[in-house]
Amino acid sequence: MAATPTLAVAAALVLLLASGPATAAPDHRCLSGGRDNTIHLEWRWLDDGRADVRYAGHSERLPLRRVSEQTTVLDEDRPYQFDTVWEERVDGRINGHYTLSTQGARIYSFSYVRARDGRRTDFDEDVNAFQDDGCHW
Residue 67 C-beta-side C-alpha neighbours within 13 Å:
12
More confident residue, 129 or 77: 129
110 in Cβ contact with 101 (< 8 Å): yes
- 26 pLDDT tier (thresholds 50, 70, 90): low
More confident residue, 68 or 104: 68
Q: pLDDT at residue 51 above 50?
A: yes
DSSP 122: E
Q: pLDDT at residue 44 above 80?
A: yes
- Cα–Cα distance, 58 to 96 (Å, whole number): 18
DSSP 116: T
Residue 94 has a pLDDT of: 96
Stated pTM of the model: 0.76
What is the chain's length? 137
User: What dotted CATH number matches 28-131?
Assistant: 2.40.160
Residues 78-99, mean pLDDT to the nearest whole number: 94
